[in-house]
Amino acid sequence: MIEIITQEPLLAALVAMVGLAVAFGAVLGFAAVKFKVEGDPIVDQIDHILPQTQCGQCGYPGCRPYAEAIANGDEINKCPPGGQATVNALADLLDVPAPELDAEDGDQSDVKKVAYIREAECIGCTKCIQACPVDAILGAAKQMHTVIASECTGCDLCVEPCPVDCIEMRPVPQTISDWQWTIPAPLGERLQGLRSADIIATDRDTGTRAA
Amino acid sequence: MRKIWDIPGGIHPPENKHQSLTDGIGTIAMPERLILPLNQHAGAPAKPLVKPGDRVLKGQMIAEPVGFISAALHAPTSGTIDGIADQPVPHPSGMSARCIELVPDGRDEWCDHQGVGDYRAQPPTALLELIRNAGITGLGGAGFPSSVKLGPRQPIDTLVINGTECEPYITADDSLMQARAPEIIEGVNILRHILGNPETVLIGIEDNKPRAFEQLTEAAEGTGIEVVEFPTKYPSGGEKQLIQILTGKEVPSGKLPAELGIVCQNVGTTFAVYNAICRGEPLISRITTVTGQACGRNGNYEVLLGTPISHLLAHNDFDAKACTRLVMGGPMMGFTLLDPAVPVVKTTNCILAGSKAEFPPAPPAQACIRCGLCAEACPASLLPQQLYWYAQSQNHERLEAHNLFDCIECGACAYVCPSRIPLVQYYRAAKGEIRRHDAEQLKADHARQRFEFHKARLEKAEAEKAAKREARRLAAEAAQRKTATSEAPSSGPGSADDLIQAAKARAAAKKASPDEQKAKLERSVEANRNRLKIARDKLAEGRDQGLDSDAMAKLEVKVNEAALKLKTAEEKLASFDDTSPGKGDSTVADDAASRVMDRVTASRREQLETTVASLKKRIASAEQAIGAETADATIAALQSGLEKQRQKLAEAETALAGLGPDGDQKVTDPTTVDAASAAIARAQAKAAARASMTPEQKAREDLHALDQRIAKARDKAQAARAEDSEHAATLESALEKLEEKRRGLIEALGAEPEETVPERPVAESVPAPSAVEPHPVPNDDPAAAAIARAQAKAREMAAMTPEQKRRVELASLDERIAKARSKLDSALAEGSEHVEALQGALEKLENKRRSLAQQDSDGVNPEGGA
Amino acid sequence: MVFARASSPHEHSALSTRQVMQYVLLATLPGLVALTWNFGWGTVINILLASTVAVGTEAAIVALRKRPVLFYLQDCSALVTAVLLGLALPPLAPWWLTVIGTLFAIGIAKHLYGGLGFNPFNPAMVGYVVLLISFPVPMTTWITPRDLLPAGVHLPDLWQSLQIVFPILGAPGQAVDAITGATPLDAFKHHTGLLVEQIYAAEPLFSRAEIVSYGWEWVNLGFLAGGVWLIYKKVFTWHAPVAMLLGLTLMAALFYDGGSSTSGGSPIMHLLSGATMLGAFFIVTDPVTSATSARGRLVYGASIGILVYIIRVWGNYPDAVAFAVLLMNFAAPLIDNYTLPRTYGHSKARKATEKKP
């Protein structure tokens, strides 16, 4: 045995290398089967983060298609309804740096909105009903339509098709039951640009500012 | 001595209790107006029982609990309800909520009330009901309805009465225990009885209230109630902390003390229970501490619920300028009031008007140096500095892992924080954010489901449409091939085969449909049955709940409606079952095929005649449908369908006429042949699946169907009348129409061929039938007569130049327009709901006429004929 | 009439961050006095110089970050860093050593990471280690304690000390070399192959000591006193320092080996020599960079104690507090993850990275 190795070093090395490769390959293959991760497919996880407004502002016909597109490498900053928070969550999930939200119009306010049909003006054309991705509009031909506010995702897809322009997006008013304390602005932000002399006068209303 | 356990953490802020303990419990003059928020408790807001302008007596229930976790509300004094409106309420947000406003009349007149003589003779459930009706909630803090807390599912072995009052400044419970110890002990006895006499009954008091301890110990002598004193430390008055101090047990996270067999009640609540059971007095007042350096006088007062806090403050020489913070509750957990006009509610244990010396303006928070003082102070053994860190970065996962939701917001961490970070605000905000996020996630999941359903529905509809299109395309192809072959002198076997194929395809397409239809009908029956059941359940529930008559009537109507719908659905299913078994799937296909064979082999004339006849039949049935239909939209749709059929009939007739007297021969004029053969093909395709019956049979069938519909319409009309429905009139007029039609049909069956369908406009445009009657048709066959008429008309038309044809058509249109106008006028006069539909129809007619007139003047012949 | 909204609690205890820092500064006094008594004015000069540079650097960086300067200076945290660094540096170290160390501590180790509360590593120790690695010679040049100096040689007076630190002030009347000497830990480390007793006999640092190491024992006892006072004032808890001292003692006891030639030295020598007590009560207790929970601080402190012994005895450096602390600063988040306290109502403690149950 040793003689063969010493006499045929090239062959021995080759055999050793191939042998090792086979052994490690077997180990890796076994590990791949044995320790297979049975997680959510990435598309489901992405879809879970998306806000499900089904608004299509990302250019895909709904949240799931966009989730699939992201899984296939599309940008993660195309979801205006989700806002920067969704972008951040996606970046976190996919372990990439979070880009800025790609908002064409600057009015990505945090205020949640739902569609509202001015019922007196509605002619009952059913166009908005067809446009609604979550079937949140109720009505029949030539009958007045109305939005089920609790089902409305605020995607505003129904605003465009209305021939008499009787649909508007109304902010959901805050009530005493959904009021909540807000997190005070970070210290740096609150002190930003203040001179020492200003602090006591301007910075002590932390609470009211937070409200 | 009972063993006392210690709690981790805790702080010793300056107590500041002596200021308000100088006198006993004082009283406050009646305010001019009481504001009673409908939601002074945890749970659903109460439902008002009074209207503005009602006079109420003291103790009268003015709002009732809605649902299980809710509490009633009572008039604190006699007076008049001034309004029920949104008013600022005590809430950290400073927002408004629905309140009942009561203007006292000054007489303070009690309603009828009396206590339970011997509560021990009463079953606990009866006492719980009394407590619920007395509107008693936890008076210590959260305001949880007491009847819920006192009726746990688990057996209770320990009753803990909370007399701790660990927050600085507050002395409401202390003064109550000092002044009313015997009543409190009696209240504890009532609670014991309700809870099935638990083995251990403890009253926990901090050692900074020696007088209250003495009083209670004295009163509790011989009752088996243990009054336990323990060292003062904030926040030992928290329910979970007190349980830990007195029993050494910890309430499991997210669970209630009842899981451990423990119920905890505040002393104030206990006193309220005593009042409700022994005196029959609901919760209409409470002891409130008014204190703070901005108040000239400090003290405890028995205050009527609804008393504006400004009234209370005015009574205590409040100096608004000296006040930097107005707090409801204590300095550790109370919340600031933005507006002193808000009322005292069930949970108002203290009004703290702090001066600048007491509550100096908060300095700006410095950076957290993670010194860990907060963790040492935390009674729940949390890591406040880490929670702060993750709250700032909104890392919800870490916050949950650090047990954010076990934070009781006692404020000990923020109290000790050397950097003056408003930690509790961070936790509150983070909790709110997590709750909101969870709710949004739920909503998003819901929206996803709805979207997926929506998508599935659209896809299904699309698939169905595609299938139909495919079938139509196949039929059209077959027809085209047929046309092509029919131009040859003899129609080859290939073309016949094609037609048979097409017919078979169509039959196959139809074959699926009966099953589907049946399934659909069955589903609708099932759904209606469910609906009826739900409606009945609701009715029963409503009866149980004692709904008012209006609501009950509405529910009954709903049940009736549901029953009616179910009946209709069942009838439909039954009639479907009756008709369908006769036509086996294979037989339908075979029938169709054999009919097509007949067609192919039959002469052209025969074919055309059959086509015309079948079209006429369809027109007749369409008209009947219009007559029977009441919905505008459907009428419009049916009318347009009718219009199309009429056009087809005209075409077929033209074709028939074009065949000339020797119809079996090939017609010389090629264009006519083309048009005719196209029409034939279309008509054949349409007719292929239709049953071939003798005209008389058809008429009888029609009559039978009509009878059924009349019966149904009568039922409906009767039901509508019974319900006083607005549809009754419409239904009746429809019924009349049906009956008229039936008469017409009977007459037609009898003898009068020209009266077959009285309202048919085509018939009206036909000239005198006797003039051109080529066939020896028996008079008693109305369909044949109609065919004959049509043929005659077609011949006439064929004989006419295109211009003449148009003239005739124009004339008939004019007639119809005139008729439609008169109908519309009468509808307008009656204010009928059909006006719109009629207008639409009229417009269509007019459009048609215009285009025809246009053609006439242009001299363009759209048919491309001679 | 509208009042301000504020979240509860509305009352606060008197202790502020500024006060915490001031307590720490005060607590260094006994140690500082012992150092000055034994080694002359050098430490005082170090502290004053470092404080000036630290406050200046802090102010400059806060101004650069466009924040209110006084607000940030008032927490005294820069002063604490400067004082700790000044105490750790050899007395009479050249001025540039102190300046570089302080600049690095405040500028890089503290503010580059976001300032107070955000620095993962103890700034004073980062400054110290940077100097130790970059300038090993001046960093290991210690002064011989006052009473062990050869006859006729005295510790320089204040002016002379200033001249030694700042050569621009003129040549000192006395050569620095005459007064420099080894520290007890140096001495112990360099006598290899001897029994502990032989080392003690050979070195006056040990032989003339009242407890174990001449001069240094009093310095360490001074810092111990200050630390105990801080625990009494509840500025920090006992967990980390006690755990560190226990860890060190345990290691020393395990490897004392009866005073053989391979012995690592007695526990008492390790406790009262070098920077043990300064580290235990003023460096290990830095809350920003240590573990968070009480359990975590026990683990953190004990690990530092063990590391200190390992590096002192088997490593290249005679003292090791700075290295041990920095190493454990790395590990603090990991320790935090596994040492959450058991929350009320939970049957067992959770992990910080635990997912939803």
Q: Judge whether residue B701 has pLDDT over 80.
A: no
Query: B241: pLDDT confidence band, cut at 50, 70 and 90?
Result: very high
DSSP 8-state symbol, B232: -
What integer is the mean pLDDT of A157-166? 88
pLDDT over 70 at C264, yes or no: yes
* pLDDT surpasses 90 at C330: yes
Residue of A nearest to B428 (CA): A181
Decide if pLDDT at B712 tops 90. no
pLDDT at B364: 82
Which alpha helices (H) appear in chain A, and where do they start and end?
2-7, 9-34, 42-49, 63-71, 83-94, 127-131, 187-191, 196-202, 206-210
Chain mean position to CA B856: 57
Q: Could you tell me which chains touch chain A, where touching means 3 or more CB pairs under 8 A?
A: B, C
What is the band of B142 on the pLDDT scale with cuts at 50, 70, 90?
confident
Chain B neighbors of A191, CB-CB under 8 A: 364
The SS3 call for residue C180 is: strand
In angstroms, the separation between the Cα of residue A128 and the nearest Cα of chain B is 14
pLDDT digits (tens, 9 = 90+) for A173-201: 888 888 888 888 776 666 655 554 444 43
pLDDT at site A206: 39
Residues on chain B touching C354 (C-beta within 8 angstroms): 401
| Spatial distance between the Cα atoms of B805 and B765, rounded to a whole number of angstroms | 12
Residue of C nearest to B409 (CA): C8
- Residue B585 banded pLDDT, cuts 50, 70, 90: very low
Q: Compute how many other C-beta atoms are within 10 angstroms of the C-beta atom of residue B388.
A: 23
H-helix or E-strand containing B262? strand B262-266
CA nearest to B62, candidates B265, B202, B76, C246: B76
Phi, psi of C53 (to 5 degrees): -65, -40
DSSP A125: -
Closest-CA residue to C273 (of C203, C334, C218, C344): C218
Residue matched to tokens 């204010």: B831
C348 in contact with A, Cβ within 8 Å? no
| pLDDT for the residue B548 | 63
C355 contact residues in B (CB cutoff 8 A): 397, 401
Q: What's residue C182's pLDDT?
A: 83
- Reduced 3-state DSSP string for B459-517: HHHHHHHHHHHHHHHHHHHHHHHHHHHHHCCCCCHHHHHHHHHHHHHHHHHHHHHHHHH
Measured CA to CA, the distance from residue B582 to residue B471 in angstroms comes to: 24
Half-sphere exposure of B83 (CA within 13 A, CB side): 5
Classify strands B79-88 and B96-104 as parallel, antiparallel or unpaired.
Answer: antiparallel
Q: How far is A135 from chain C (nearest CA, A)?
A: 33
d(CA C280, CA C308): 11
Least confident of A105-109, B221-225, B252-256: A105-109
CA B345/CA B631 separation, integer angstroms: 55
CB B282 within 8 A of CB B134: yes
Torsions phi, psi of B813, nearest 5? -60, -45
What's the CA gap between B300 and B49, in Å, rounded? 32
Task: Determine the Cα–Cα distance for residues A140 and A124; give it in Å rounded to an integer.
Answer: 7
Nearest to C6 by CA among B366, A177, A184: A184
- At B767, is the pLDDT very low, low, confident or very high (cuts 50, 70, 90)? very low
Mean pLDDT of B531-541: 77
* Chain B residues 78-107 with a CB less than 8 Å from chain A: 89, 91-97
The pLDDT of residue C11 is 87
Predicted confidence band at B597 (pLDDT cuts at 50, 70, 90)? low
pLDDT tier at B508, thresholds 50, 70, 90:
low
**3-class secondary structure, C92:** coil
- Reported as a single tens digit per residue, the pLDDT across C268-314 is 999 998 899 999 999 999 999 999 899 999 999 999 999 999 999 99
- Mean residue pLDDT of chain B comes to 79
How many CB atoms are closer than 10 A to CB B794?
A: 24
The model's confidence at residue C66, banded by pLDDT at 50, 70 and 90, is confident
B632-691 residues touching A, CB cutoff 8 A: 632-633
Interface of A with C (CB under 8 A): 181, 188, 191-199, 205-208, 210-211
The backbone region for B112, taken as left when phi is positive above 0, alpha when psi lies in -120 to 50, beta otherwise, is: beta
pLDDT in tens, C167-220: 888 877 667 777 888 888 888 888 878 888 888 888 888 888 888 888 889 999
Q: What's the distance, CA A112 to chain centroid?
A: 16
Report CB contact under 8 Å: C6, A208.
Answer: yes
pLDDT at site B744: 73
Per-residue confidence (pLDDT) for residue B647, from 0 to 100: 78
Contact A208 C71 (CB under 8 A): no
Name the β-bridge partners of B353: B326
Helix extents (H) in B202-265: 210-220, 239-247
Q: Is residue B534 within a helix (H) or strand (E), and if so which, with residue range?
A: helix B493-545
pLDDT value at residue A175: 84
Q: Is residue C59 within 8 angstroms of chain A, CB to CB? A: no
pLDDT tens track for C332-357: 999 999 999 999 999 888 888 877 65
Structure-token pair, residue C80: 């604490």
Q: CA B682, CA B479: separation in Å to the nearest integer?
A: 7
Cα–Cα distance list, C355 to A86, B396, C341, C347 (Å):
20, 10, 17, 17
C66·A192 Cβ contact <8 A:
yes
* C208 touches A at CB < 8 Å: no
pLDDT at B375: 92
CB contact under 8 A, B92 and C5: yes
Q: In whole angstroms, what is the distance from residue C343 CA to residue B240 CA?
A: 12
Amino acid at B649: L
Contact C7 A181 (CB under 8 A): yes
Query: Which chain B residues have a beta carbon less than 8 Å from that of A181?
Result: 92, 425, 428-429, 432
CA-based torsion, B407, B411, B412, B418: positive or negative: positive
Instruction: Decide which of C316 and A200 is more confident.
Output: C316
* ipTM of predicted assembly, 2 dp: 0.90
Cβ of A207 within 8 Å of Cβ of B364? The answer is no
Measured between beta carbons, the chain C residues lying within 8 angstroms of B324 are 3-4
Whole-number Å distance between alpha carbons of C108 and C102? 10
Cβ–Cβ gap B394/A183 under 8 Å: yes
Q: Provide the residue ranges of all domains of chain C, joining segments of one domain with +.
A: 16-181, 183-338
Note which residues in 287-326 of chain B have CB less than 8 A from chain C. 310, 320, 323-326
pLDDT tens column, B389-404: 999 888 888 899 999 9
C-alpha distance from B93 to closest chain A C-alpha (Å): 7
Best CA proximity match to B645, nearest among B620, B665, B624, B663: B620
Strand partners, B103: B80
User: Measuring CA to CA, how many Å separate C216 from each of C137, C206, C220?
Assistant: 21, 10, 6
Strand-pair partners of C142 = C181
**B192 neighbors B198 (Cβ within 8 angstroms):** yes
CB pair distance less than 8 Å for A211 and C67: no
Count CB atoms within 10 A of the CB of residue B119. 20
